Amino acid sequence: MHNTRLRRLHVLGLTAGAVMVLAACGGGPASSSSGGSPATAQSAADAGGLNALVTAAKKEGKLNVIALPPDWANYGAIISGFTAKYGIPIDSANPNGSSQDEVNAVQQLAGTSRAPDVLDVGMAVALANTNLFAPYKVTSWGDILDSQKEATGLWFQDYGGYMSIGYDSSKVPTITSIQDLLKPEFKGKVALNGDPTKANAALNGVMMASLANGGSLDDISKGVDFFHQLKQKGNFVPVQATTATVKNGSTPVVFDWDYLSAAHGTDVPTWKVFVPSNAILGGYYAQAINKQAPHPAAARLWMEYLYSDEGQNLWLKGLARPVRMDAMQKKGTLDKAAAAKLPPVNGKPVFLSADQATNAKNYLADHWAQAIG
């Protein structure tokens, strides 16, 4: 996920000024006319039905999102589509932020009108912060596999893809293995999409390198060792890769999700995407609702929109694989043309479990800075 959304391994933190923002004057959470308070609703039915939820969300008049670059998984079109459909403006804060930045904002802006209503975070961050989330089950809940959601709806996965190495073929040789990146031709050219101790995409980039170098889903150390080698050779660039850095050529080789990397082809026609057959690492992000959301009805309506056929197909148009993809394919509601454009992956993919993601995050917290210097 997703300016390649440095976000998720996002990097930019909240400024002190933003943290000190006081709640603005305005209407509080709206109650539906025929149901309970949206702030406690665990489904659209609890809020009086979808129509009542729409009415309550319109009364609130706003939705706060965070760390959603417009070119990350097609979020620009998704944000515009939601506002066009419901007439509810969206305040999109810190678009290049990381998953950890999202959590920090929830905690630091708690009780203000500026707090994020919803989050889109990597699994390690989601699992570590369930105490901040409100349980909610979207109308299409049954289409989401049990393994891809928390049983009560504290979080549920949204879209995913495969970790890859994207590169400008006009600036570096063809990449056929991760080991190629240690060659002199890649000096000062290899970057991650963020800080792996904070960003999900970067963490998975290091994990892919570990898998390709004899590591396992239980052992990210080989990936840390590999980036240490890149650093020693002068090949690693400690810059968060973005759409801008790819376009201007300062990060011609980037570890990132395939759907985010493929999007660089719009600006750089010579951009190619390589998924190593010996390290096909898949991953999904997760949605969650801030339990203290200043706009609780709009937050829940946003989720209903994202998990509708319309929302899922918009992610698909951004080359991300939506969580309801298989179910929609069976129902005939999947955008086939968009699905046909997905980057090809040849081989058996593997996925980090919740515990493995947490363990990898902890290892990076203890070893990454020392390895990179």
Helix, strand, coil shares of the chain as percentages rounded to 5? 40, 15, 45
User: Between 167 and 25, where is the model more confident?
Assistant: 167
Q: Is the pLDDT of residue 22 over 50?
A: no
Q: In this structure, are residues 70 and 243 in contact, taking their beta carbons and an 8 Å threshold? A: no
Distance CA 191, CA 5 (A): 13
Of 224, 201, 294, 211, residue with least CA distance to 9: 201
**Alpha-carbon distances, residue 135 vs 1, 182, 253, 291, 350 (angstroms):** 23, 46, 40, 8, 28
Distance CA 57, CA 93 (A): 19
Distance CA 151, CA 356 (A): 20
Chain centre distance of CA 51: 29
Average pLDDT rounded to a whole number, residues 208-228: 98
DSSP for residue 91: E
Q: Which residue has the tokens 């919803």?
A: 118
Task: Tell me the pLDDT tens digit for each residue of 187-212.
Answer: 999 999 999 999 989 999 999 999 99
Q: Is the pLDDT of residue 11 over 60?
A: no
Average pLDDT rounded to a whole number, residues 222-240: 97
Of 31, 120, 112, residue with least CA distance to 79: 120
At a CB cut-off of 8 Å and minimum separation 6, what does 278 contact?
A: 211, 212, 347
State residue 28's pLDDT score.
46
Strand partners, 216: 219
pLDDT band at 33 (very low <50, low <70, confident <90, very high): very low
Q: Which residue has the tokens 């080359």?
A: 319
Distance CA 197, CA 100 (A): 9
Average pLDDT rounded to a whole number, residues 5-33: 38
Domains 16-20+28-160+283-339 and 161-281+344-372 equal at CATH topology level: yes
pLDDT band at 345 (very low <50, low <70, confident <90, very high): confident
Distance CA 12, CA 316 (A): 27
Q: In this structure, are residues 166 and 252 in contact, taking their beta carbons and an 8 Å threshold? A: no
Residue range 161-281+344-372, CATH number: 3.40.190.10
State residue 344's pLDDT score.
75
H-helix segments, the chain: 16-19, 50-60, 75-86, 99-108, 123-128, 200-212, 221-233, 243-247, 258-262, 296-306, 309-317, 325-331, 336-339, 354-372
Q: Is the pLDDT of residue 16 over 50?
A: no
Of 249, 236, 242, 255, residue with least CA distance to 166: 255
Strand partners, 164: 256
Task: Tell me the pLDDT tens digit for each residue of 147-173.
Answer: 899 999 999 999 999 999 999 999 999
Q: Is the pLDDT of residue 281 over 70?
A: yes
Distance CA 298, CA 61 (A): 8
Chain centre distance of CA 194: 12
CATH class of 16-20+28-160+283-339: alpha beta
User: Between 96 and 327, where is the model more confident?
Assistant: 327
Q: Which residue has the tokens 């570890």?
A: 255
pLDDT band at 35 (very low <50, low <70, confident <90, very high): low
Distance CA 234, CA 236 (A): 6
Average pLDDT rounded to a whole number, residues 97-113: 97
State residue 30's pLDDT score.
53
Angle at which helices 221-233 and 354-372 pack, to 10 degrees? 30
Q: Tokens standing for 325?
A: 């993809």
Length of the chain: 373
Angle at which helices 75-86 and 296-306 pack, to 10 degrees? 120
What ranges do the domains of the chain cover?
16-20+28-160+283-339, 161-281+344-372
Q: Tokens standing for 119?
A: 């989050």
Average pLDDT rounded to a whole number, residues 351-369: 93
State residue 303's pLDDT score.
99
Residue 290 phi, psi dihedral angles, 5° rounding: -65, 125
In the chain, the percentage of residues whose pLDDT exceeds 70 is 91
State residue 346's pLDDT score.
80
Q: How many helices (H) and strands (E) does the chain have?
A: 14, 11
Q: Tokens standing for 216?
A: 């396992």
**Alpha-carbon distances, residue 276 vs 168, 233, 253 (angstroms):** 17, 22, 14
Q: Is the pLDDT of residue 17 over 80?
A: no
Q: Tokens standing for 196?
A: 């792996």
Strand partners, 224: none
State residue 3's pLDDT score.
38
Average pLDDT rounded to a whole number, residues 323-345: 93
